[in-house]
């Protein structure tokens, strides 16, 4: 090991005043314009300052290898980290186009520099005084010792700058071909090496590998000669010794003009191996030997050898090495652990290589005075103030940029603003353009998809005409979708693809492939047709292509030839590049995509290689001279098309914002700022627009009472000396925008108090501008405050005129008027026979408020009239219940201001809790609607839709045929209708009037919200109320055999609902403290693939599960039978808070497990662990009454192996659980186990069967149910599943059990395959099954499932249900009958179903082929009594298994004592007992001793020392046998 005591060397590089490398941050960088609007985003990449002085590096080395894979990157990284840890300023370079190696270089230098700083602080702390800067290895003389305090201060400043510089070091690519010329490459090297102590260059591939087989162009050796840098050759010595000298000599002599300075051998086996290699190399350089450095004449140096240490290697994947922040290509690691990896490499290098000799070698490099001859790089000293803002996508998904490209953009006048597509919620403000590099979007597709707001910002920026340039991964992000390998570890999905939504700028999809496309190319910028390129036509550049993806159509499930595109979609996107691959015989071809001013392709261009074409633009945006660089062209296009530079208007009125977007693109581009309540359309708040005004309260998350109270507080704080503060106006954002037009409003006094704030801010801005420029601010303030429907048309005209889009305004007004005239014409036809119904709308619930203004006009235009007699333009006002009952409206509409239907539903109890509400005739008749406020509470274009919606619902005047589908889909979430009536009883004689009635049934106000249904969900049968002779006729639909039933959440405040999930278990249980049977839910897989361990109970309705079915009554208006839900019929979810036995880590999170109720126990077995790769056994128990979890500790030495997707049934007659099949991660299984719950011991029945017996083949994802054929006979029925080597199956197997007195007769097995005729259920897996009834009235039902032979995704779902009447003799053919059920409840797999009585099935959750289904607050109910006709099979009703003598056993259910006592442990044993057990040679002596001690202490459980699990003692088992529970009635209900 080398001593580190001589690490002192010259560190006084004077680099403290040198320019920071592109990407770094410095204190003397040019100030950023518009800093005031950038405070919430990442600090921008600073503009470089002029270098002073120009100084070449002290040391330069080029690290190359004999070939790829010899370890040159690992050794290069170790050298960089080691030198940086010594305190040197290290500048890394990378030969060739590779990005990832450079990222490791930067991280290694940063880690080493941080280590140097830490060591310096440690030394300073140890001595108690500030350490002086390390000096050269030369003896420090007395004069230097007495240097002045000022000199020491300056030295410390230099050290600080060195450390800060290394922390932000940037690796630079050197490529003599792709950079356009050797001069360009040399200029880049010289510029970036200025001020560095050491330049370390990593080569690419082998030392002499070039663009072809004969030339040196593009090789690492060629670059070494051009830069006059000595080469350090890396050789893999794992399989050679003296031959390393031959390799070194051959690589040296192939080009005698190249300097071979040193050799490092990697992967040596030991000290002797190293010595042999050292001797062989040194011998070839001695005397007249030919292994010499041609630059110095010295022998080529043996610089050391590294051991064969796999831990020192760098992990790889497609595209090269993994990211520096990843340990193995999959799992991200912390910054600290990543740094530790580099420091370990540095320590390995320090110990095994001669760093001092390498430093000495590097000092022999020949330094050339910088000559910036490249056209692109000739401006390197002409730094300028940033003139435009360019957003740079920078994070783990987008990290591939050539540093010269970013540097050249800065030199051309760009301020680079980093943002993260993974985490940044919105684009930075005031961007002129966006540059998106390559990276790994496919590895972060889920996170990119989740950042919806930024994706929307980028699409909106492109649609607004903003300039976006994207390369490779950036292009993938701008696509509509990315198809990546399925993240689900399920074997069925192996090899399948899943889609992730991206920005949608280009209507293309990207699919990952296992094949790489990689080559250099000459690129010419093209523009033809309607395409306008952001780069000048004819300009040329060089680049490279390297990716593992391809462009495909959106529908990946279609059979698409590899690489084919959707020509219809792509023909309107002119390819922006004419590319000539640098491949033999390659022809030019068009590549890439462009739309508006967005350009993207798979190519990474190097900006320094740009050459002008024949067509040159006239002038530059910055210098007013013709731009000569690609960077200047890009910035000129960005400024020319910058959305924020074209915008000049701000809108403080939501209605004005809606009108602007209705007027088209030109009006949209004029809009620079909006308020936080301008939320329609959604893109109104996306970039490039800014939010210039916000409400101090978030009304969307507040109740009506809270909003009212908050408004009172705001009004009470009004300040006469200044703005009231009711709205927060962003003065800085306004100053940045400098608007010329501002749209403001004055609305009703009830809900608005903001006008003063807005006008005050605009006034101040005008005054400040006048003071600074001595001229008026000239802001045209336009009031937009229509109060009638006609006023809305006037507002459209006013805004169109202000934004100079008068023609578009006239077209919009004409279109809206024609839609209203059509409705008016239809209303006039109905007027004589159907008078206008009266409509009362409530725009506030606490207090009761009617909106006035334009709402009476809307009601009249839709064919109705206002119930209170209000006219258009009247003020909003608070009303009383007395006024409402007097008005007696035909229809009640609830549309609170700023409230969605969901929020209104959450507040409807404010009405339902009053008796007056239930006295209203419209409530009694069910004519209550909830509308989204958007179509009614804002005086914008959506008012026309509001009229059309009311006309369709209240007058049956449907929209135009061509608009119906679009409007119905939109309205399906905007309009809800009350779906049940209340029967009224009269409190007087027959002569009393309608006001003398009262509800016959008391209402549960918390259930009212669940009785509203979408009016437009079923487009073919809209729920419409039609007026006939002033009375409503309701067209009710008969409830079918399959019904979606609503549930509610627990009444405990703040309670929640279960996560959407699949692969879970739901079983029926009868908890002792509950009167009704309930359903228990455990585990499963959430939508984000998390394994769950939560436990839920679905309580039965108040009147039992039968109350879920409708009670039929006759509607007097139509004489049609209608099924109306009863009151109190909603099941309730409750999340159970469970305990566990002390010291146990239960329950285990899992999915695809089996679960069954065993008396008062819930037994859970198997499934998949949290990593979705590890099968589980983990048998666990939940006591249903005490809700206590514990491990199922069993006796015996054998138990079932780990598995997922098994089946489990419980035999009450013998008190045992039966386990069958599953998947252990390698093979499907067909073993059969039973758990004897008398003695808690597993038995493997399959081992006892004769080989000749008929037995099912191995399978998984099947279902099993237990048929209680008689008191003495039980049969397990197994259906379907995935058979190993075959695939999905429709086999039905029966296993007969015989329960006798003795243990030997308990399991007399009789497997046989059930014969069926007629239509058979399609083969399937992952379905669900249940059994209802007993004996000969039993029926087996299967629902849903999937069949991989049908394809993948939603197309593989089997949307059907089948029933099998369990008939007699096993020799009689059975018949499956398909149920006439239909609905989305069948369109799923991996769900769970339970029978709650002999005719009712309940299921919930599952997977629809894409995601876990969202059943919302509902469950699915299947009713066998009203299903389609089911013909029972014919034949003599005999039993499936022959009679066997013997009486049925009397069964008892174990009564557990679930006191949370502490189990007896090994440490509880008396010392002498423990010592005796440890000396014993008998097997199990220790656990037997612990068991005896537990029995002596009368304890139920003890800890097994071998497994660590708690185990029942014989005390517990004896007490369990002694307990007789009277539970027959409980079990019968199940």
pLDDT in tens, 668-715: 888 888 888 888 888 888 778 888 888 776 665 565 566 666 666 666
pLDDT at residue number 612: 77
Work out the average pLDDT over 1279-1296.
Answer: 90
pLDDT at residue number 1037: 29
pLDDT in tens, 550-603: 887 644 333 333 333 444 444 455 688 888 888 877 888 888 888 888 999 898
pLDDT in tens, 358-378: 999 999 887 655 454 444 444
Residue 973: Cβ-neighbour burial (10 angstroms; 0-12, 13-18, 19+):
middle
pLDDT at residue number 772: 56
Beta bridge partners of 673: 650, 690
Work out the average pLDDT over 720-729.
Answer: 71
pLDDT above 70: percentage of residues in the chain? 71
Residue 1178 has pLDDT above 90, yes or no: no
Residue 35 has pLDDT above 60, yes or no: no
Of 181-195, 481-495, 733-747, 871-885, the one with minimum mean pLDDT is 481-495
pLDDT at residue number 407: 86
Helix axes 72-85, 355-362, angle to 10 degrees: 90
Residue 19 has pLDDT above 70, yes or no: no
pLDDT in tens, 472-506: 999 999 998 898 887 666 656 666 778 889 998 88
Work out the average pLDDT over 835-863.
Answer: 92
Do the beta carbons of residue 95 and residue 201 sit within 8 Å? yes
Tell me how crowded residue 1531 is: count the other CB atoms within 10 A of its CB.
Answer: 14
Do the beta carbons of residue 230 and residue 62 sit within 8 Å? yes
pLDDT at residue number 40: 34
Beta-carbon contacts of residue 1130 (< 8 Å; ≥ 6 apart): 1007, 1010, 1045, 1046, 1047, 1048, 1101
pLDDT in tens, 1460-1508: 356 788 888 888 888 888 887 776 788 788 888 888 877 777 777 876 6
pLDDT at residue number 1246: 83
pLDDT in tens, 802-814: 888 898 999 999 9
* Nearest alpha carbon to residue 580 among 619, 529, 543: 543
- Over the chain, what is the mean pLDDT? 76
pLDDT in tens, 942-994: 999 999 999 999 999 999 888 888 888 888 888 999 876 444 444 444 444 44
Residue 1416 has pLDDT above 90, yes or no: no
pLDDT in tens, 533-544: 678 788 888 888
Q: How confident is the model at residue 54 (pLDDT cuts 50, 70, 90)?
A: very low
Work out the average pLDDT over 49-60.
Answer: 54
Residue 832 has pLDDT above 90, yes or no: no
Q: How confident is the model at residue 1427 (pLDDT cuts 50, 70, 90)?
A: low
pLDDT at residue number 788: 92
Residue with the bigger pLDDT between 18 and 214: it is: 214
pLDDT in tens, 1040-1082: 356 666 666 554 545 678 889 999 999 999 887 666 789 999 9
pLDDT at residue number 393: 93
Query: What does 284-348 look like in DSSP terms, one character per residue?
Result: HHSTT-S-B-TTT-PBPEEEEEEE--GGGSPPEETTEEPPTTBSSSSSB--HHHHHHHHHHHHHH
pLDDT at residue number 1349: 78
944-960 burial: b if 16+ Cβ within 10 Å, else e: bbbbbbbbbbbbbbbbe
pLDDT at residue number 1369: 59
Q: What is residue 673's three-state secondary structure? A: strand
Residue 756 has pLDDT above 70, yes or no: no
pLDDT at residue number 715: 61
pLDDT in tens, 1445-1470: 333 333 333 333 333 356 788 888 88
Tell me how crowded residue 1116 is: count the other CB atoms within 10 A of its CB.
Answer: 8
Bridge-based pairing state of the strands 1510-1512 and 172-174: unpaired
Q: How confident is the model at residue 1000 (pLDDT cuts 50, 70, 90)?
A: very low
pTM score, whole prediction: 0.50
pLDDT at residue number 1516: 62
Work out the average pLDDT over 1185-1208.
Answer: 89
pLDDT at residue number 1250: 66
Beta-carbon contacts of residue 214 (< 8 Å; ≥ 6 apart): none
pLDDT in tens, 76-86: 999 999 999 99
pLDDT at residue number 903: 84
Residue 1192 has pLDDT above 50, yes or no: yes
Work out the average pLDDT over 879-885.
Answer: 93
pLDDT at residue number 5: 35
Residue 845 has pLDDT above 60, yes or no: yes
Of 52-56, 649-653, 1012-1016, 1042-1046, the one with minimum mean pLDDT is 52-56
Residue 355 has pLDDT above 50, yes or no: yes
Q: How confident is the model at residue 939 (pLDDT cuts 50, 70, 90)?
A: confident
Specify the residue for token string 């408020």.
849
pLDDT at residue number 1526: 37
Distance between CA atoms of 402 and 380, rounded to whole angstroms?
A: 16
Beta-carbon contacts of residue 1500 (< 8 Å; ≥ 6 apart): 1457, 1459, 1461, 1494, 1512, 1513, 1515, 1516
Residue 122 has pLDDT above 90, yes or no: no
Residue with the bigger pLDDT between 772 and 52: it is: 772
Q: What is residue 83's three-state secondary structure? A: helix
pLDDT at residue number 328: 43
Q: How confident is the model at residue 325 (pLDDT cuts 50, 70, 90)?
A: low
Residue 18 has pLDDT above 60, yes or no: no
Beta-carbon contacts of residue 1314 (< 8 Å; ≥ 6 apart): 1277, 1292, 1293, 1294, 1370, 1374
Highest-confidence range of 176-190, 998-1012, 1387-1401, by mean pLDDT? 1387-1401
Work out the average pLDDT over 1219-1233.
Answer: 92
pLDDT in tens, 279-303: 999 898 888 888 888 888 899 999 9
Q: What is residue 1196's three-state secondary structure? A: coil
Q: How confident is the model at residue 1290 (pLDDT cuts 50, 70, 90)?
A: very high
Distance between CA atoms of 344 and 82, rounded to whole angstroms?
A: 10
Work out the average pLDDT over 619-637.
Answer: 65
pLDDT at residue number 55: 47
Query: What does 555-598 look like in DSSP terms, one character per residue?
Result: -TTS---TT---HHHHTTS---EEEEESSTTPPPEEE-EEETTE
pLDDT at residue number 623: 43
Cis peptide before 1382 (omega within 30 of 0): no
């Amino acid at each position: 090991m080398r001593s580190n005591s001589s690490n002192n060397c010259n560190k006084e590089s004077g680099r403290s005043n040198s320019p920071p490398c592109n990407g770094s941050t410095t204190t003397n960088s040019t100030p950023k314009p518009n800093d005031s609007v950038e405070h919430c985003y990442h600090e921008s990449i600073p503009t470089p300052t002029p270098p002073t002085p120009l100084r070449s590096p002290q040391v330069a080395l080029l690290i190359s290898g004999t070939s790829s894979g010899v370890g040159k990157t690992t050794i290069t990284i170790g050298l960089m980290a080691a030198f940086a840890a010594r305190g040197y300023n290290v500048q890394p370079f990378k030969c060739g186009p590779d990005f990832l190696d450079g990222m490791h270089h930067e991280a290694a230098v940063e880690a080493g520099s941080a280590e140097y700083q830490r060591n310096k602080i440690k030394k300073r702390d140890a001595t108690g005084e500030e350490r002086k800067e390390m000096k050269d290895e030369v003896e420090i003389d007395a004069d230097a010792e007495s240097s002045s305090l000022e000199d020491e201060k300056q030295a410390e400043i230099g050290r600080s700058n060195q450390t800060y510089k290394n922390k932000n070091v940037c690796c630079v690519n050197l490529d003599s071909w792709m950079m356009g010329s050797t001069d360009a490459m040399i200029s880049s090297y010289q510029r970036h090496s200025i001020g560095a102590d050491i330049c370390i260059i990593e080569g690419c591939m082998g030392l002499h590998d070039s663009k072809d087989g004969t030339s040196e162009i593009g090789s690492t050796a060629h670059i070494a000669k051009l830069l006059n840098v000595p080469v350090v050759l890396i050789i893999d010595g794992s399989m050679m010794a003296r031959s390393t000298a031959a390799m070194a000599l051959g690589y040296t002599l192939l080009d005698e003009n190249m300097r071979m300075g040193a050799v490092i051998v990697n992967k040596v086996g030991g000290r002797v191996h190293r010595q042999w290699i050292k001797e062989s190399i040194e011998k070839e350089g001695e005397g007249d030997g030919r292994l010499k450095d041609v630059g110095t004449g010295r022998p080529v140096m043996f610089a050391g050898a590294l051991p064969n240490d796999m831990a020192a290697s760098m992990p790889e994947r497609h595209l090269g090495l993994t990211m520096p922040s990843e340990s193995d290509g999959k799992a991200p690691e912390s910054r600290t652990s990543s740094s530790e990896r580099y420091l370990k490499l540095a320590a390995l290098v320090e110990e095994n290589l001669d760093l001092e000799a390498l430093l000495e070698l590097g000092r022999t490099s020949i330094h050339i005075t910088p000559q910036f001859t490249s056209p692109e790089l000739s401006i390197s000293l002409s730094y300028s103030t940033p003139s435009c803002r360019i957003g740079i996508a920078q994070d783990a998904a987008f990290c591939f940029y050539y540093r010269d490209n970013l540097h050249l953009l800065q030199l051309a006048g760009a301020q680079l603003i980093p943002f993260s597509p993974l985490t940044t919620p919105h684009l930075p403000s005031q961007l002129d353009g966006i540059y998106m590099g390559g990276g790994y979007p496919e590895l972060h597709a889920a996170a990119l998809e989740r950042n919806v707001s930024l994706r929307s910002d980028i699409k909106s920026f492109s649609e607004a005409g903003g300039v976006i340039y994207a390369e490779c991964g950036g292009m993938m992000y701008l696509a509509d979708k990315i198809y990546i390998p399925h993240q689900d570890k399920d074997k069925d999905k192996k090899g399948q693809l899943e889609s992730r939504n991206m920005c949608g700028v280009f209507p293309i999809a990207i699919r990952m492939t296992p094949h790489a496309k990689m080559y250099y190319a000459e690129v010419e910028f093209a523009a033809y047709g309607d395409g306008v390129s952001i780069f000048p036509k004819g300009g040329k550049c060089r680049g490279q292509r390297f990716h593992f993806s391809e462009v495909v159509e959106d529908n990946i499930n279609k059979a698409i030839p590899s690489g084919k595109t959707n020509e219809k979609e792509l023909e309107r996107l002119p390819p922006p590049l004419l590319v000539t691959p640098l491949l033999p015989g390659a022809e030019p071809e068009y590549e890439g995509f462009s739309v508006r001013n967005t350009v993207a392709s798979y190519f990474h261009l190097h900006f320094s290689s740009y050459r002008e074409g024949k067509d040159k633009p006239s002038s530059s945006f910055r210098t007013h001279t013709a731009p000569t660089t690609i960077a200047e062209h890009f910035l000129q296009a960005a400024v020319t098309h910058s959305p924020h530079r074209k915008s000049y208007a701000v809108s403080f009125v939501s209605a004005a914002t809606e009108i602007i977007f209705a007027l088209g693109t030109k009006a949209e581009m004029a809009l620079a700022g909006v308020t936080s309540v301008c939320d329609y359309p959604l893109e109104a708040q996306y970039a490039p627009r800014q939010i210039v005004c916000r409400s101090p309260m978030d009304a969307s998350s507040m109740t009506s009472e809270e909003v009212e109270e908050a408004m009172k507080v705001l009004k009470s704080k009004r300040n006469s000396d200044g703005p009231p503060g009711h709205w927060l106006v962003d003065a800085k954002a306004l100053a940045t925008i400098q608007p010329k037009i501002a749209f403001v409003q004055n609305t009703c006094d009830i809900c608005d108090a903001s006008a003063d704030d807005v006008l005050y801010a605009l006034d101040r801005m005008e005054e400040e501008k006048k003071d600074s420029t001595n001229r008026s601010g000239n802001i045209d303030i336009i009031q937009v405050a229509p109060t009638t429907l006609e006023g809305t048309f006037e507002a459209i005209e006013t805004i169109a005129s202000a934004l100079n889009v008068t023609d578009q305004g006239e077209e919009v007004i004409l279109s809206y008027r024609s839609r209203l005239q059509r409705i008016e014409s239809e209303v006039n036809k109905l007027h004589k026979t159907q008078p206008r119904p009266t409509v009362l709308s409530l725009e506030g619930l606490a207090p009761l408020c009617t909106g006035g203004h334009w709402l009476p006009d809307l009601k009249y235009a839709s064919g109705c009239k206002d119930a209170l007699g209000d006219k258009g333009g009247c003020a909003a006002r608070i009303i009383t219940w007395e006024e409402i009952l007097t008005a007696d409206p035909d229809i009640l509409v609830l549309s609170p201001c700023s409230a969605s239907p969901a929020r209104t539903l959450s507040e409807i109890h404010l009405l339902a809790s009053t008796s007056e509400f239930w006295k209203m005739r419209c409530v009694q008749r069910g004519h209550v609607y909830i509308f989204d406020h958007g179509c009614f509470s804002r005086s914008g274009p959506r008012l026309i839709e509001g009229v059309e919606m009311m006309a369709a619902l209240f007058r049956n005047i449907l929209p135009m045929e061509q608009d119906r589908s679009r409007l119905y889909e939109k309205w399906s979430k905007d309009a809800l209708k009350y779906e049940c009536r209340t029967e009224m009883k009269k409190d007087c004689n027959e002569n009393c009037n309608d006001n003398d009635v009262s509800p016959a049934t008391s209402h549960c106000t918390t259930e009212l919200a669940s009785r509203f249904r979408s009016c437009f969900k079923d487009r073919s049968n809209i729920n419409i109320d039609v007026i006939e002779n002033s009375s409503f006729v309701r067209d009710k639909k008969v409830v079918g055999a399959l019904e979606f039933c609503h549930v509610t959440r627990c009444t405990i405040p703040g309670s929640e609902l279960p996560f959407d999930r699949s692969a879970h278990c739901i079983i029926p249980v009868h908890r002792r403290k509950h009167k009704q049977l309930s359903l228990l839910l455990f585990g499963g897989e959430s939508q984000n693939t998390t394994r769950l361990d939560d436990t839920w109970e679905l309580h039965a309705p108040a009147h039992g599960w039968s109350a879920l079915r409708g009670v039929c009554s006759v509607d007097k208006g139509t004489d049609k039978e209608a099924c109306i839900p009863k009151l109190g019929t909603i099941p309730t979810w409750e999340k159970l808070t469970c305990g566990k036995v002390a010291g146990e880590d239960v329950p285990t999170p899992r999915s695809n497990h089996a679960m069954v109720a065993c008396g008062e126990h819930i037994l859970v077995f198997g499934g998949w662990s949290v990593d979705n790769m590890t099968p589980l056994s983990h048998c666990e128990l939940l006591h249903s009454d005490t809700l206590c979890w514990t491990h199922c500790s069993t006796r015996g030495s054998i138990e079932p192996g780990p598995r997922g997707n098994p089946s489990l049934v419980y035999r009450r007659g013998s008190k045992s659980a039966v386990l069958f099949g599953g998947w252990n991660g390698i093979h499907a299984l067909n073993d059969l186990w039973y758990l004897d719950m008398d003695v808690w011991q597993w038995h493997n029945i399959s081992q006892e069967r004769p080989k000749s017996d008929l037995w099912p083949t191995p399978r998984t994802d099947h279902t099993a149910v237990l048929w209680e054929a008689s008191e003495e006979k039980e049969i397990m029925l197994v259906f379907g599943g995935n058979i190993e080597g075959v695939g999905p199956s429709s086999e039905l197997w029966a296993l007969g059990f015989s329960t006798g007195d003795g243990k030997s007769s308990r399991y007399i097995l009789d497997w046989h395959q059930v014969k069926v005729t007629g239509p058979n259920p399609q083969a399937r897996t992952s379905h669900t099954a249940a059994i209802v009834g007993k004996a000969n009235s039993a029926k087996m039902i299967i629902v849903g499932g999937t069949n991989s032979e049908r394809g993948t995704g939603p197309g593989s779902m089997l949307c059907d249900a089948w029933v099998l009447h369990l008939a007699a003799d096993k020799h009689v053919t059975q018949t499956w009958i398909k149920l006439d059920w239909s609905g989305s409840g069948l369109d799923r797999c991996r769900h769970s179903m339970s029978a709650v009585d002999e005719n009712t099935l309940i299921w919930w959750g599952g997977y629809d082929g894409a995601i876990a289904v969202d059943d919302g607050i509902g469950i699915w109910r299947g009713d066998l009594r009203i299903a389609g006709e089911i013909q029972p099979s014919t034949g003599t009703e005999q039993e499936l298994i022959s009679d066997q003598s013997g009486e049925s056993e009397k069964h008892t259910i174990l009564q557990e004592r679930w006191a949370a006592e502490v189990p007896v442990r090994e440490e509880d044993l008396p010392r002498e007992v423990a010592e005796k057990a440890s000396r014993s040679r008998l097997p199990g002596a220790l656990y037997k001793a612990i068991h005896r001690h537990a029995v002596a202490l009368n304890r139920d459980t003890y800890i097994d020392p071998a497994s660590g699990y708690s185990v029942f003692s014989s005390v517990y088992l004896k007490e369990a046998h002694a307990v007789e529970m009277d539970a027959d009635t409980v079990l019968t209900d199940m």
